[in-house]
Amino acid sequence: MSDDTLSQANIQRFNDVAATWDDKPGRLAMARHVAAAMLKRLAPAGGGRMLEFGCGTGLITALLAPSFHQVVAMDSAPGMLAVLERKIEELPLKNVETFEGDLSQTLPEGAFDAIVSSMTLHHVADVPGLLKRLYGHLSPGGQVALADLDAEDGSFHGDKPGIAHNGFERDDIRRWLEAAGFANIDFDTAYTMEKIGEDGVLRQFPIFLVSAQREQ
């Protein structure tokens, strides 16, 4: 499936679920664990500029924002960003700005000290190409911290549209990061999600966090 077809399917799907996205306790627990694993691997001492792509309603954005000077939270679904924009007003999150865009086409301008994302890579067809583009948007010494599903049998999403990958083999991610120029590549298991599939079977889905660094 092309990135364009995937993008359209995802914009529609995530606009439809935006209002109730934060209602699932499992999602909040995953965001807490993934954000904590990201902060352990990132070196945000003194702040810096951070990009989160596929930020959704900002579950992770809100947890990471206090550790950075400036945060750009990017997503392609305006409905998800509208939920985050309410949080920016209400919490408030004064150092967070939103950016609506399809990351297979565009990324926000300027260099970032950290680029993070959770559960979004599996929506992108050309992950090796995206990793190369992310490298070009990092400051020297800047880091990525990317979380997603370990390779699974497809039962995590069932027949939901907009899925490009049934998780990832860690060796593939490592190879793609190395090809993009990254060093200091480390993997953690940030969380294990338990989910009942459409067949009624309870399964465990480990979520990896990979961190990697652009050369100084």
Ligand X SMILES: C[S@@+](CC[C@H](N)C(=O)[O-])C[C@H]1O[C@@H](n2cnc3c(N)ncnc32)[C@H](O)[C@@H]1O
**Interface region with ligand X, contact rule CB under 6 A, candidates 72-80, 90-98, 108-116, 191-199:** 72-80
Residue among 67, 76, 143, 213 that touches ligand X (CB under 6 A)? 76
Length of the chain: 216
**Among 93, 95, 96, 99, residue whose Cα is nearest residue 77:** 99
Under the criterion CB under 6 A, does residue 119 sit at the interface with ligand X?
yes
Judged by beta carbon, residue 50 or residue 216, the one nearer ligand X is 50
Task: Count other Cβ atoms within 10 Å, centred on residue 106.
Answer: 13
69 contacts 48 by C-beta, under 8 angstroms: yes
Binding string, 14-53, against ligand X, x = CB under 6 A? x------------x---x---------------------x
96 contacts 79 by C-beta, under 8 angstroms: no
51 contacts 112 by C-beta, under 8 angstroms: yes
Query: How far apart, in whole angstroms, are the C-alpha atoms of residue 145 and residue 211?
Result: 4
CB of 105 to ligand X, least distance (A): 8
Under the criterion CB under 6 A, does residue 60 sit at the interface with ligand X?
yes
Residue among 37, 59, 62, 130 that touches ligand X (CB under 6 A)? 59
50 contacts 114 by C-beta, under 8 angstroms: yes
Under the criterion CB under 6 A, does residue 104 sit at the interface with ligand X?
yes
Binding site for ligand X (CB under 6 A): 7, 10, 14, 27, 31, 53-56, 59-60, 75-77, 80, 102-104, 118-120, 123-124
